[in-house]
Chain A
Amino acid sequence: MQQDFHMENFRRRSRYLLVFLVLTAAFLAITVLNINTGNVDISVSEILRILFKGTENTTEYNIIWKIRLPRILMAAILGGALSLSGFLLQTFFENPIAGPFVLGISSGAKMVVALVMIYFLEKFKVVSSYTLIIAAFIGSLLTIGFILLFSRRIHHMATLLVAGIMVGYICSAVTDFVVTFAEDSDIVNLHGWSQGSFSGMSWNNVAVAAVVVGITVLITFLFSKPIGAYQLGEAYAQSMGVNIKAFRVALILLSSILSACVTAFAGPISFLGIAVPYLIKRCLNTSRPLVVIPGTFLGGAVFCMLCDLIARTAFAPMELNISTVTSIFGAPIVIFMMLKRQKGMQ
């Protein structure tokens, strides 16, 4: 019997390793693909030469360094952050269909960012990345606060989701209203952003996002033990020594920072936060946070980069909204999940 468990452990670890290897390979492949496709095709050997040798000031050099690379990295960082934020919210609400977009958190963040952006552009002509992140963070917390207030009264999960979607609509309506009456010069910026897009990312953006997301992901990873306990339910987690009140606050803050960062830079992106954690858990065949957290981050990065590639190239030179692409892939997965859940209940 004992031997069986050790074999089982070995099998599991091999599976984790395999999944991570595949994800890493996919990550690298998509990165390369992402760099070399576009309006200007650049061959792989050219890419390597530009990246490592650095022949400056050619058009290709500028395209890669100033446009494609920051955009790719941003898609990776934010895709990972959004997926992880979804995983945390699902843990918190004990509901696999919870996510920043569905619960209206992204829209709440978007609304506050739009307001702040218009105000700042009018007054100071500039708005820093940090200001936007803080604005998005406040927006996220406001919406989550509202949802929590609501969930205290209503324990039914479907109702909670409907409430989230309604909040999302209200916030989007306010955002549209503000955008409509904004100055012409702001509109171009705001419009593209409020639909969700990775275009026009600067290295400065990348650096800020990398620092904020990097730290948050690290802290989240260190929380994997209590998150694992929480998956058994609040009462059991408490009996295992988790300080539930503090833990719940931490969970909300972490997921808000992550989704706020995404909204601040790329606008709202749909379904990524639900689909990726689900797929990753199935692939790893576990819900153990210790592997699911890094897995979800990496998986989200790959998924988001792929979607961005499609958004960029499918109808080039026209560019699709990132949400258009993530919805096409993400929504069917969510429907599939619900069907499966329904079946499991019977």
Chain B
Amino acid sequence: MADYYLKMEHLAVGYGGKPLIRDINIGIDKGEIVTLIGPNGSGKSTILKSITKQLKLVGGVVVFDQKSIGDMSYKALSTRMAVVLTERMKPELMTCHDIVATGRYPYTGRLGILSREDEEKVEAAMRAVHAEELGGRDFNNISDGQRQRVLLARAICQEPELIILDEPTSFLDIRHKLELLSILRTMAKQKQITVVMSLHEIDLAQKISDKILCVKGEFISHYGRPEEIFEEQTIKELYEIDNGYFDPCFGSIELPKPVGEPRILVLSSCGTGIPVYRRLQKEQVPFAAAILYKNDIDYRLARLLASETVAEEPFREISEESFARAMALIQSCERVIDAGVTVGDCNRRMEELLEAARLAGKLLEA
């Protein structure tokens, strides 16, 4: 733990001296992006507010570049740490340029007048978030996406080594979410700025973060690299989802599968099954999928949505056992849907299945 850039040791955070989350022990390296995920009200904001010294620590320490933040003045912190908060800022008669310029506050003199150099930095920050055209607009009359970008520019122009963001992507549409996060990514890598933030979108958290911190009520349930955290079970436990499903591979979430004995069998390969699965799921028709190789994209979704999936190990010939199971399903299901099957050397027996379905008068083309 000794040489981490930002670390929390036995940190306890909460309001009014009452600990909400206890015993947080994590280390963050310079230039890393660390994302806090967890259900609403789990205390993500409380942790962030404690790091920024908005809240008094209940116990333990936060060490920032070898120094406890408790021993650093707000003034000393202000040139090293910038924040983007969830509270709505309601400034009066201020343009976006003015808002960004407030980031230079710690560097200006007694009366806060910007030098030419400050002005240039403000402009550079506006460019970095692609907000040049917003300069003269009133901050209260821009969209949420623009507002978040302006606030990020404000943080950038404070020239921090550490940026703390509390749910920066809330209220943003998907394009602006991606834009904001990619700006953060670039910043972290190019300027070695450390980013600590909270996100609701676990799929995005997985893709942007170097480390993930799972906050669940009283304690930190997991901390580590996304590939370690994004196990199906971890996410299910963290958010206590029992009716929905999460695919760690793509970070996607699915609605629960229709319950009951399969009424329809879907034969597919190479992704042709996916639209059919989705339609059946929406119609709430329980279905089975066959015969899918485990490296097939159809398999990843069938696993979550189908009542039964007949699967085969990759690049093997279809086994007797799988074939028998699929035949049984053709018998028991009301219909068989041919979603499009690519047949090669290994899965020749798929043709037999299609033929059997046709003979039984159950085959439908998708």
Q: A5-B97, A96-B92, A225-B108 are in contact. Are A235 and B54 (CB under 8 A)?
A: yes
Residues in B neighbouring A225, C-beta threshold 8 A: 105, 108, 110-112
Chain B proximity of A258: nearest CB distance (Å)? 20
Minimal beta-carbon separation of A246 from chain B (angstroms): 10
Complex CA–CA separation, A18 to B79 (angstroms): 36
Q: In the complex, what residue of chain A is closest to B99 when comparing beta carbons? A: A232
Chain A residues lying within 8 Å of B120, measured Cβ to Cβ, are 2
B93 touches A287 (CB 8 A): yes
Per the 8 Å Cβ criterion, residues 90-117 of B in contact with A are: 90-95, 97-99, 102, 105-106, 108, 110-113
Q: Is the interface of A mostly helix, strand, loop or mixed?
A: helix
State whether A4 and B53 are in contact (beta carbons under 8 Å apart), knowing that A224-B112, A228-B102, A240-B105 are contacts in the complex. no
Query: Size class of A's contact patch?
Result: 20 to 34
Does B315 belong to the interface (CB within 8 Å)? no
Q: Which residue of chain B is the closest to A2 with respect to CB atoms?
A: B123
How many A-B Cβ pairs are below 8 Å? 101
Per the bound structure, the CA–CA distance linking A8 and B136 in Å amounts to 8
Q: How far is the CB of B317 from chain A (nearest CB, A)?
A: 64
- List the A side residues contacting B140 at CB < 8 Å: 344
Chain A residues near B77 (CB, 8 Å)? Answer: 239, 241
In the assembled complex, which residues on chain A have CB atoms less than 8 Å from the CB atom of B53? 238
A174 at the interface (CB under 8 A from B): no
Contact present for A241 and B74 (CB under 8 Å): yes
Q: Mark A217-254, 1 if CB is under 8 A from B, else 0.
A: 00000101100110111011011111110000000000
**A1-21 contacts to B (CB < 8 Å):** 1-2, 4-6, 8-9
A281 interface contact, C-beta 8 A: yes
Flag if A281 contacts B108 (CB, 8 Å): no
In the bound assembly, the distance between CA atoms of A258 and B67 in angstroms comes to 42
Distance A282 CA – B105 CA, assembled complex (angstroms): 24
Q: Decide: B52 and A281 in contact? CB cutoff 8 A.
A: no
B102-142 to A contact mask, C-beta < 8 Å, 1/0? 10011010111100000110110001000010011000100
* CB <8 Å contact, A281 and B136: no
User: Contacts A1-B135, A5-B97, A5-B123; is A236 near B108 (CB within 8 Å)?
Assistant: no
Q: Does A285 contact B (CB under 8 A)?
A: yes
Contact present for B94 and A222 (CB under 8 Å) = no
Whose C-beta in chain B lies nearest to the C-beta of A91? B92
Task: Decide if B279 is an interface residue (CB 8 Å cutoff).
Answer: no
Does A5 lie within 8 Å of B119, measured CB to CB? yes
- Residues on A with C-beta less than 8 A from B98 are 286, 288
From B10-18, B80-88, B260-268, the one touching the partner chain is B80-88
**Is B112's CB under 8 angstroms from A239's CB?**
no
| A290 at the binding interface (Cβ < 8 Å) | yes
Q: Identify A287's interface contact among B75, B94, B119, B122, CB under 8 A.
A: B94
Bound-complex Cα distance A222 to B54 (A):
25
Please tell me if the beta carbons of B92 and A287 are within 8 angstroms of each other in the complex.
Answer: yes
Complex contacts, B87 vs chain A, CB 8 Å: 233, 235
| Min CB gap A143→B, angstroms | 26
Chain B positions within 8 Å of A285 at CB level: 93
Q: Which A residues are in CB contact (< 8 Å) with B94? A: 231, 286-287
Chain B residues near A5: list those with CB within 8 A.
97, 119, 122-123, 135
The answer to the question of B78 belonging to the interface, with a C-beta cut-off of 8 Å to chain A, is: yes
Alpha-carbon separation in the docked complex, A231 to B136 (Å): 19
Whether the pair B111, A231 counts as a contact (CB closer than 8 A) is: no
Within the complex, the shortest CB–CB distance from A13 to chain B, in Å, comes to 12
Contact A235 B85 (CB under 8 A): yes
Contact A236 B123 (CB under 8 A): no
Cβ-neighbour of A4 out of B52, B85, B136 (below 8 A): B136
| Shortest Cβ gap from A257 to chain B (Å) | 21
Residue on A nearest B139 in the bound complex, by CB:
A232
Alpha-carbon gap, A287 to B98, bound state (A): 10
Query: Does any Cβ of A come within 8 Å of B366's Cβ?
Result: no
Q: Is the CB of A242 within 8 A of B93?
A: no
Specify which chain A residues have a CB less than 8 angstroms from the CB of B113 in the assembled complex: 290
Do the beta carbons of B111 and A232 come within 8 Å of each other? Answer: no
Q: A residues within 8 Å of B by Cβ?
A: 1-2, 4-6, 8-9, 94, 96, 222, 224-225, 228-229, 231-233, 235-236, 238-244, 281-282, 285-288, 290, 344
Binding site for A on B (CB under 8 A): 52-54, 73-79, 81-83, 85, 87, 89-95, 97-99, 102, 105-106, 108, 110-113, 119-120, 122-123, 127, 132, 135-136, 140, 158
- 28 residue pairs A–B, Cβ–Cβ below 8 Å: A1-B132, A2-B123, A4-B135, A4-B136, A8-B97, A8-B136, A9-B119, A222-B111, A224-B111, A228-B102, A228-B105, A229-B102, A229-B105, A232-B99, A233-B85, A233-B89, A236-B85, A239-B52, A240-B106, A241-B73, A241-B77, A241-B79, A243-B73, A243-B74, A281-B93, A286-B94, A287-B93, A288-B98
7 additional A-B pairs beyond A232-B91, A232-B102, beta carbons within 8 Å, are A1-B135, A222-B111, A231-B91, A235-B52, A235-B87, A240-B102, A282-B93
Closest 3 CB pairs of A and B: A241-B78, A225-B112, A241-B75
